[in-house]
Amino acid sequence: MYGIESHIAANRTKTTLLMLVFIVLMAALGWAAGAYLAPSGEDVDPTVSFGIGMVLVAFFVIIALITTGISYWFSDKIIARMVNARPANPGVYIEKYFIDTVEGLVLACGLPAIPKAYVIDSEALNAFATGRDPDHSLVAVTTGLLGKLDRQELEGVIAHEMSHIYNRDILLMGVAAVLVGGVSMFCHFFLRLMFWTGGGSRRDSKGGCGGGPLAIVAIVLIILAPIFANLLNLMLSRKREYLADATAIKLTRNPEGLSKALQKISGSTEKMPFVEKELSALFIDHPQKRRAGRSWFAEMFATHPPIEDRIAALKSM
């Protein structure tokens, strides 16, 4: 398929860069923690503060390396557990049809292995794919999607998710979701620690940097880090939906099936409150049903392009 090889190569490059950005960001957060926690004052040896900062930077870089490795090797298992996905049951007719459709689309797109078929027990209409490569991937759909879409519509959605596997989007988005979640979790923990310790306001010159300028910079960095990480995650996800839609049509040769499925998905009001916001970019529709506005600012923070635009693109094919 035209342009797919360059897209796959770009995804590999972006995944590597994303991991490097995460390591640098964690090193910066380690410095921020050191700047906040290290003792300060005229009677404090500067090398002590510097040493504490370097130890924390090294510690957070090690944590970043471990987290990066885990996200690369186990993102599919981690994400499946986070959204309560379970293996599809071949003894249930509609789930057996889901499994058979996945296997049939593998032949259509020439994947080297069959992705695992998973189901999420939810009335919402949604689906996602994840994994590090086609040999270690899974496609998950909700029970609501299985029950409310007809066969052509369901095939279109599954083909869309299989396209993310074929296009190698899954590694980039899976790694991004896990790493962004890690940054957010750390920052949330540290902000709570600052709250319970009084934000440094009650500490003397031997107990921490208190309200010094470095502490202020550190606090700002800790507050902005998860926002930056989430924005990076959102920017990575939007254009891939259009390419996955187009690839799905090449696999099924039926733009009407996916178009009607997107209309039903758009019209559904069922949400998935148990899905963390860091994972929202993985799904075919936002789990909390948040819609992108038409302004550039709203679209900047949107995980998905407007479904109306996607349907219009499908109808033009």
Catalytic residue positions? 161
Cα angle vertex 159, ends 158, 164, to 5°?
Answer: 100
What are the beta bridge partners of residue 118? 87, 140
Whole-number Å distance between alpha carbons of 47 and 64: 25
Helical segments of the chain, H only: 4-37, 46-82, 93-109, 143-148, 151-166, 169-196, 213-252, 255-267, 296-300, 307-315
The number of angstroms, rounded, from the C-alpha of 273 to the middle of its chain's C-alpha atoms is 16
| DSSP string over 240-253 | HHHHHHHHHHHHHS
Closest CA to 118 of 88, 154, 78: 88
| DSSP string over 30-85 | HHHHHHHHS--STTS-HHHHHHHHHHHHHHHHHHHHHHHHHHHHHHHHHHHHHTTE
Per the CB < 8 A criterion, the answer to whether 284 and 176 are in contact is no
Whole-number Å distance between alpha carbons of 199 and 202: 8
What are the beta bridge partners of residue 130? 138
